[in-house]
Amino acid sequence: MIAALRQFSRQTPGFLLILLFVFLTLYPVARFLLLPLFPSLGPAGRMSLAVSIPVDALVNSVCLGLAGTLLVLPFGVAIAWLFERRLWSGNSVLMAVLWLIFVTPSYLMTTGWQIVFAQPQFSRGALAQLFFSRAGVVFLLAIKGLPFAALAARTSWRALGAEIGDAARLLIKDGWTRRRAMLQLLLPSAGAAFAVVFIESIQEFGIPATLGAQIHLPIITYAIYERLATTPVDFGGAATLSWLLVGLAAIAASIHQFFSARYSGALVHGRRRAVHLVPSSVSGSLLAWLGLAALAMLGIIVPGAAIVAAATSPVGYLFPIPWDSLFYSSIYGVLAALAAVMVAVPMLVHGRSGRNWFATAMGAISLGNMAVPGLVLGAAYTIAFNSAWLPLYGTPLLLIIAYVAMQVPMLIRFLQAPIEHLHHNLSDAARLHGLPWAMRVFDIDGPLLAPAFTWGWMMAFGQIFFELPISELLYPAGRAPVAVALVWLNQNLHYTEEARLALAGIAITFLIAGIATTALSLTLRSERAGAFA
């Protein structure tokens, strides 16, 4: 009996953590997605089942997503080949550019290009006409999808050992046939890149909310937002459109599974030889530098310079800038990022302690939640927490909870390796020497894990500060986050005001990140000084 009670007490924290995450993610999303089948789950009781599906928005989302994905896929495979097969001095710069494009909010990149083509010398040209059309949306989706394609394609290039290339050169004389055989081995990775980029493209909200709204192009993610942001609110229609998003993502994932099952092979084995990177030729290096320059110009330099120029331009009349949104986003970001770390760390520690059922459940829940778009999660929260027994809708608390639910899966993936690398013997030795729990946490585990926790917190804070879809749906009245203010200024063509607010927001994120890094450095320095005193 006593042993059973001890076993139950050891498993209770795991059950509570799983129940907490189910309550924050699975319950709201399931209730929202089941609305078309069970209208009584809605906040207003029974709703009409008559839902009109905007076929044009669905067709546009599929066509634009496919076009952007197919456009960027060859470049992603080529960039991955450059990383894994060539010694090139620009690899670190290329990786930095890819990460900058990845972390840049899509609506800010769109704003930079809108400012460029709003200038009188460009506004009437052919490029401006192309940008303010479906081609512009495809271009932006391709730029944002390139980091996903390149990083996904690196896995297969890395798995291809040197013996495979040697065998191909020995057995296949024709060069093009040999290259085609090697590319066939990359089809699983290409399928993964296709699935990831296509899913990210159809779930993209920032570009439809800025450029798509300006050119009045129906896109499914913005159609979901319109059904939730207009009166009367159409929860059933939004849930039906969300099912379409889920179905499209499932189709893309099925394509990836098909290529994996049809063309995959055992590429990593005991006799696998590492590939020796070959120095790039002069022409290859020149081509790579030109490609890097073009990517940096299109993704970072041109839109960034346009925003800086608009922010520093002297103008006579300025629309009032909602500077208070910077304060609200800072508070939301600091609190939500801290809460997300405080939720993710106990889950990782509990999963590390040998409870396989908990680790499996945590991995499944985190992966499932990462596949849920922020727009769908925000829509789910408007229903799940807009009832008499959970009246949280319209409060800052619900917005912070939604941020936490969105960031915990990312933090679990980010912090998993540092926590697993912390050896059990450290805590065991401290327990054997009679050290209390607080001393073990703050004097042993804390200093070792503090850098990883700080970087995880800063990553979560930066994403929360400029997060858009959840902010649009859940922000409290009169306390809008900076992303909502930026998109509102963009939709009303106040580019100068938007650029100034955006630069101030970027400066604040760097300032807060610098304060956190400095505090971490001073704390670790004092810990070392105390240890050697």
Collapsing DSSP to helix, strand or coil, 384 comes out as helix
Q: How much is the average pLDDT of 324-333?
A: 94
Place of tokens 């990210």: 200
Residues 112/117/121/126 CA torsion (nearest 10 deg): 140
Instruction: Give the CATH number of the domain where residue 259 resides.
Output: 1.10.3720.10
Q: What is the pLDDT of residues 18-46, one digit of tens each?
A: 777 777 788 888 888 888 887 777 765 54
Q: Residues 241, 107: one domain?
A: yes
Domain of 376 in residue numbering reads as: 324-420+446-532
Q: What is the pLDDT of residues 277-288, one digit of tens each?
A: 677 788 888 999
Q: Per-residue confidence at 409, pLDDT binned at 50, 70, 90?
A: confident
Would residue 89 count as lying in a domain? yes
Is 203 a residue whose pLDDT tops 90?
Answer: no
Would residue 33 count as lying in a domain? no
Q: Per-residue confidence at 295, pLDDT binned at 50, 70, 90?
A: very high
Q: What is the reported pLDDT for 503?
A: 93
Of 168-172, 269-273, 389-393, 511-515, highest mean pLDDT: 511-515
Domain count for the chain, please give it.
2
For helices 55-85 and 134-159, the axis angle rounded to 10 degrees is: 40
The answer to whether the CB of 219 falls within 8 A of the CB of 59 is no
Instruction: Report how far apart, in Å, the C-alpha atoms of 414 and of each of 366, 418, 459, 470 are.
Output: 12, 8, 10, 22
CA distance 221 to 121: 33
Token pair for 302: 């041109």
- Residue 142's closest CA among 66, 69, 217? 69
Instruction: Report how far apart, in Å, the C-alpha atoms of 447 and of each of 17, 237, 399, 450, 522 are.
Output: 25, 50, 31, 5, 12
Is 354 a residue whose pLDDT tops 60?
Answer: no
- Residue 391 pairs in a beta bridge with 386
Q: Residues 410, 300: one domain?
A: no
Q: Residues 300, 378: one domain?
A: no
Is 208 a residue whose pLDDT tops 60?
Answer: yes
Is 505 a residue whose pLDDT tops 90?
Answer: yes
Which residues are CB-neighbours of 375 under 8 A, at least 6 positions away? 203, 205, 221, 224, 225, 242, 469, 470, 473
Q: Residues 166, 215: one domain?
A: yes
Q: What is the reported pLDDT for 136?
A: 94
- Residue 26's closest CA among 376, 496, 411? 376
- Residue 278 pairs in a beta bridge with 86
Of 121-125, 282-286, 349-353, 500-504, highest mean pLDDT: 500-504
Would residue 441 count as lying in a domain? no
Q: How much is the average pLDDT of 328-342?
A: 92
What is the overall mean pLDDT for the chain? 79
What percent of the chain lies above the pLDDT cut of 90?
A: 29
Would residue 194 count as lying in a domain? yes
Beta pairing class for 86-87 and 278-279: parallel
User: If you count DSSP H runs as helices and E runs as strands, how many of each does the chain have, helices first?
Assistant: 27, 2
Q: Residues 293, 261: one domain?
A: yes
Q: What is the pLDDT of residues 301-314, one digit of tens each?
A: 999 999 999 998 87
Would residue 97 count as lying in a domain? yes
Q: Residues 221, 364: one domain?
A: no
CA distance 108 to 209: 11
Q: Residues 294, 354: one domain?
A: no
Looking at per-residue pLDDT, the higher value among 57 and 185 belongs to 57
Q: What is the pLDDT of residues 218-240, one digit of tens each?
A: 999 999 888 888 877 788 888 88
What percent of the chain lies above the pLDDT cut of 70?
A: 71
- 401 CB-contact burial (10 Å; exposed 0-12 / middle 13-18 / buried 19+): buried
Q: What is the reported pLDDT for 394?
A: 85
Is 4 a residue whose pLDDT tops 50?
Answer: no
For 175-203, letters b (16+ CB in 10 Å) and e give: eeebeeebeebbbbbbbbbbbbbbbbbbb
Q: Residues 296, 349: one domain?
A: no
User: Within 13 A of 63's CA, how many CA atoms are on the CB side?
Assistant: 12
Would residue 451 count as lying in a domain? yes
- Residue 102's closest CA among 150, 156, 158? 150
Q: Residues 284, 358: one domain?
A: no
Q: Residues 364, 513: one domain?
A: yes
Q: What is the reported pLDDT for 255?
A: 74
Q: Residues 291, 394: one domain?
A: no
Q: Per-residue confidence at 482, pLDDT binned at 50, 70, 90?
A: very high
Q: Per-residue confidence at 456, pLDDT binned at 50, 70, 90?
A: confident
Would residue 11 count as lying in a domain? no
Is 9 a residue whose pLDDT tops 70?
Answer: no
Would residue 47 count as lying in a domain? no
Q: What is the reported pLDDT for 526?
A: 67
Q: Residues 247, 368: one domain?
A: no
